[in-house]
């Protein structure tokens, strides 16, 4: 997530989903894509852009963001970045 091209790609995909009516986006293995951004600054930037786009284009003016977070979640400056966390059930 530390490369601008990566953030641009994720924003493009998220904005397309929002534009067709999706109200929740699962961002996948967010912690695995985070090895060069230990402060989560780039994730915070991306999610702010996605939420701003939703504020203008989403039907309810919001989007719910989640991702896989096996170690407890993405935090930036003491604040959680995702609305909820997902992890697959493994029996």
Tens digit of pLDDT for each residue in 44-82?
999 999 999 999 999 999 999 999 988 878 899 999 999
pLDDT number for residue 40: 93
Tens digit of pLDDT for each residue in 12-47?
999 999 999 999 999 999 988 888 888 999 999 999
Under a CB-based contact definition with an 8 Å cutoff, are residues 80 and 73 in contact? yes
Under a CB-based contact definition with an 8 Å cutoff, are residues 69 and 87 in contact? yes
The candidate with the shortest Cα–Cα distance to 6, out of 32, 22, 20, 17, is 32
Confidence bin at 4 (pLDDT 50/70/90) = very high
- C-alpha 44/C-alpha 76 separation (Å) is 7
Tokens (6 digits) for 64: 């719910």
Q: What is the model's pTM?
A: 0.91
pLDDT number for residue 88: 74
């Amino acid at each position: 997530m530390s490369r601008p091209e990566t953030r641009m790609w994720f924003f493009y995909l998220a904005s397309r989903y929002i534009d067709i009516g999706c109200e929740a986006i699962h961002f996948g293995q967010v912690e695995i894509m985070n090895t060069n951004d230990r402060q989560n600054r780039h994730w915070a930037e991306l999610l702010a852009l996605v939420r701003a786009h939703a504020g203008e284009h989403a039907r309810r003016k919001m989007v719910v963001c989640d991702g896989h977070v096996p170690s407890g979640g993405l935090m930036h400056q003491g604040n959680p970045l995702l609305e909820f966390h997902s992890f697959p059930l493994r029996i």
